[in-house]
């Protein structure tokens, strides 16, 4: 009743400005409580809560969610869930943040020297194959049949242009598309730059570990292990990534995606990210100098991953931090160009980037042919529209965080609280 009377008093203010200012003063303590709740909740989280989470919420990942066929509708779907206890981690991914997931994935492909073992043939669905090339081609030509892309960003520097889009599939995490044009750069140099993990450790401050597990000198396929740094209230994330490059003229189709790997055991920390897709089309384009020369390089990137945090919060974080992360790429590329010009030794990863599977332009056109088309929405969403649409969800999710972190009675309680909050957030979005 006290809360209702306060709200009624606020709504009785004579002007909209007075109502808005009073609401802001009313909401400010709630935001402070959200921040304090997050910090206290994570700092004082008891060990018995983690043990309870492991016993009650053991999440199994379906191997079918990583097959190339699952990527044909958008970027893929979330792992299949077949019981209520499996729904909790998928709805509230962070509640299993410190838990050990069961490694129910199939045995990974063996990428040996000659790539001819029977084991590789049996498990080729887990490796990077021509189906992944087909999917990437459809994405490049906007013919994958997915939802419309909504523009998020359009920025320019003297040596780089950047545009970004996002779309939200019916199932699965948000998907991102970006177009970056580097002036005075060749596709070959950019291809090796993105593949060179040794140099990436110097410019990508989120990457703290990179290791090559297996490689195939015949196709250039690689299996790599990454560990990326996350904010202090989350565990770091690890990735087992399969990657391969196809070449058509001076266009390069670079596929990287998460693959199963039982040879690298799962740990409490860092947490394994299973659903991961990040692929590029790299090709020469005309420079904006207007001299008619193909002296610039275009990179079309398609990316999505399930990092284990709520997707709405992940979208907010990506939107706020995207340009700051992108700005670091261009200085990293220029430093790489200078190092290569000075004839410094080529790393093993950069050498593997030069081993490409050649395909003809006619073959690519046959892959791109499709009756279904995605729609490109060129105009970005206005900040007012985004704010109006996200305020109910932000308030509800923030309140759920405070309640969950304050109670801290175990992961099952948090799951129920966040599940209810998610339902009300959906209702608020419809309204």
Residues 332, 412: one domain? no
Residues 26, 142: one domain? no
Return the SS3 of 90. Answer: helix
Number of domains in the chain: 2
Evaluate whether residue 336 is within a structural domain.
Answer: yes
Residues 39, 115: one domain? no
pLDDT at position 326 is 93
**Joined tokens for residue 149:** 């892309």
Evaluate whether residue 57 is within a structural domain.
Answer: no
Evaluate whether residue 189 is within a structural domain.
Answer: yes
Range of weakest confidence among 83-87, 151-155, 319-323, 349-353: 83-87
Q: What angle do CA 95, 99, 103 make, to 5 degrees?
A: 120
DSSP lists the bridge partners of residue 209 as 227
**Joined tokens for residue 7:** 């709200």
Residues 318, 343: one domain? yes
Return the SS3 of 31. Answer: helix
Evaluate whether residue 185 is within a structural domain.
Answer: yes
Among 139, 142, 122, smallest CA distance to 131 is for: 139
Residue 6's domain comprises: 2-44+383-416
pLDDT at position 345 is 85
Last residue of a domain, one of 330, 350, 377: 377
Residues 127, 270: one domain? yes
Could you read off the pLDDT of 218-242 as tens digits, one per residue?
Answer: 999 999 999 999 876 678 999 999 9
Range of weakest confidence among 35-39, 160-164, 255-259: 35-39
Residues 369, 388: one domain? no
pLDDT at position 384 is 43
**Joined tokens for residue 6:** 């306060």
pLDDT band of 388, cuts 50, 70, 90:
very low
pLDDT at position 400 is 53
Distances in whole angstroms, Cα of residue 195 to Cα of each of 104, 154, 230, 256: 29, 25, 22, 10
Q: What is the pTM of this model?
A: 0.64
Residues 281, 399: one domain? no
CATH of the domain at 326: 3.30.530.20
Evaluate whether residue 51 is within a structural domain.
Answer: no
Evaluate whether residue 152 is within a structural domain.
Answer: yes
Residues 229, 119: one domain? yes
Evaluate whether residue 75 is within a structural domain.
Answer: yes
**253 within 8 A of 245, measured Cβ to Cβ:** yes
Residues 176, 274: one domain? yes
Last residue of a domain, one of 377, 394, 425: 377
Question: Could you give the CA distance from residue 399 to residue 393 in angstroms, rounded to a whole number?
Answer: 10
Decide: residue 142, CB within 10 A, 0-12 exposed, 13-18 middle, 19+ buried. middle
**Joined tokens for residue 378:** 């060129």
pLDDT band of 44, cuts 50, 70, 90:
low
Residues 81, 161: one domain? yes
Could you read off the pLDDT of 296-329 as tens digits, one per residue?
Answer: 999 999 999 998 888 888 888 888 889 999 999 9
Residues 87, 159: one domain? yes
Residues 11, 98: one domain? no
Evaluate whether residue 426 is within a structural domain.
Answer: no
């Amino acid at each position: 009743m006290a809360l209702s009377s306060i709200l009624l008093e606020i709504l009785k203010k004579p002007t909209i400005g007075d109502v808005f200012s009073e609401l802001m003063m009313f909401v400010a303590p709630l935001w402070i409580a959200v921040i304090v709740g997050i910090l206290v909740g994570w700092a004082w989280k008891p060990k018995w809560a983690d043990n309870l989470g492991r016993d009650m919420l053991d999440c199994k990942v379906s191997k079918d969610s990583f097959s190339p066929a699952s990527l044909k509708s958008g970027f893929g779907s979330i792992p299949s869930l077949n019981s209520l206890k499996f729904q909790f981690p998928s709805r509230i991914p962070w509640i299993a943040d410190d838990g050990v997931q069961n490694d129910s994935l199939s045995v990974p492909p063996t990428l040996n020297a000659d790539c001819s073992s029977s084991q590789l043939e049996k498990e080729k669905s887990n490796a990077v194959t021509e189906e992944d090339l087909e999917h990437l081609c459809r994405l490049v030509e906007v013919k994958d049949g997915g939802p419309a892309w909504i523009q998020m960003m359009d920025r320019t520097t003297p040596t780089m242009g950047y545009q970004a889009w996002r779309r939200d599939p019916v199932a699965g995490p948000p998907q991102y598309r970006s177009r970056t044009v580097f002036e005075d750069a060749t596709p070959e140099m950019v291809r090796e730059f993105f593949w060179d993990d040794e140099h990436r450790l110097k410019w990508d401050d989120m990457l703290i570990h990179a290791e090559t597990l297996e490689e195939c000198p015949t196709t250039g396929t690689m299996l790599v292990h990454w560990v990326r740094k996350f904010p202090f209230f989350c565990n770091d994330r690890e990735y087992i990534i399969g990657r391969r490059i196809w070449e058509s003229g001076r266009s390069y189709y670079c596929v990287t995606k998460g693959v199963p790997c039982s040879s690298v055991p799962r740990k409490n920390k860092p947490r394994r990210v299973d659903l991961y897709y990040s692929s590029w089309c790299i090709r020469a384009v005309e420079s904006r100098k207007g001299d008619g020369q193909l002296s610039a390089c275009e990179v079309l990137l398609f990316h999505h991953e399930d990092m284990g945090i709520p997707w709405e919060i992940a979208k907010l974080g990506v939107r706020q931090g995207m340009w700051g992360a992108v700005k670091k790429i261009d200085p990293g590329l220029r430093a790489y160009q200078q190092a290569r010009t000075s004839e410094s030794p080529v790393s093993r990863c950069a050498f593997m980037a030069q081993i490409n599977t050649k395909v003809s332009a006619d073959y690519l056109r046959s892959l791109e042919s499709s009756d279904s088309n995605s729609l490109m929405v060129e105009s970005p969403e206005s900040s007012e529209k985004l704010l109006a649409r996200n305020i109910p969800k932000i308030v509800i999710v923030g309140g759920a965080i405070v309640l969950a972190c304050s109670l801290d009675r175990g992961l099952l309680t948090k799951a129920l609280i966040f599940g209810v909050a998610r339902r009300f957030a959906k209702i608020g979005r419809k309204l």
